[in-house]
Amino acid sequence: GAVVSQHPSWVICKSGTSVKIECRSLDFQATTMFWYRQFPKKSLMLMATSNEGSKATYEQGVEKDKFLINHASLTLSTLTVTSAHPEDSSFYICSVSARGGETQYFGPGTRLLVL
């Protein structure tokens, strides 16, 4: 399987600031990357899907202007939480797959705390 890393592993920021989270596929050509979010004591939910070089496709209810996703290369995707608020505090996880691939390989996740 693919090795996926995320950076940072956790971040604390003040309300109103923007936070960028990186997802890197270290040994795999990730044509598609996914971003999931975990709410406290709930399942992980898909936020958006991005194909390399294309705009991300967001799930219903996810604000695309708040959660900016860039997938500029086959090894890197970034999620930027803009003007973060305490309710954005959560655990964000990325996964990667090859084009048409049925298996996603997950990163370890990034924990965000907005004060």
- The residues binding other proteins (CB under 8 A) are 1, 6, 9, 32, 34, 36, 41-46, 49, 91, 93, 95, 102-111
Q: How far is the CB of 63 from other proteins (least distance, A)?
A: 18
Which residue lies nearer to other proteins by CB, 82 or 111? 111
Rounded Cα distance between 20 and 11, Å, is: 10
Is there a contact between 58 and 47 (Cβ–Cβ < 8 Å)? yes
CA-closest candidate to residue 8, choices 101, 113, 115: 113
**Could you tell me whether strands 90-97 and 57-58 are parallel, antiparallel, or unpaired per DSSP bridges?**
unpaired
Which residue lies nearer to other proteins by CB, 20 or 82? 20
CA-closest candidate to residue 76, choices 6, 1, 23, 4: 23
Q: How far is the CB of 87 from other proteins (least distance, A)?
A: 19
Which residue lies nearer to other proteins by CB, 66 or 111? 111
Q: How far is the CB of 109 from other proteins (least distance, A)?
A: 4
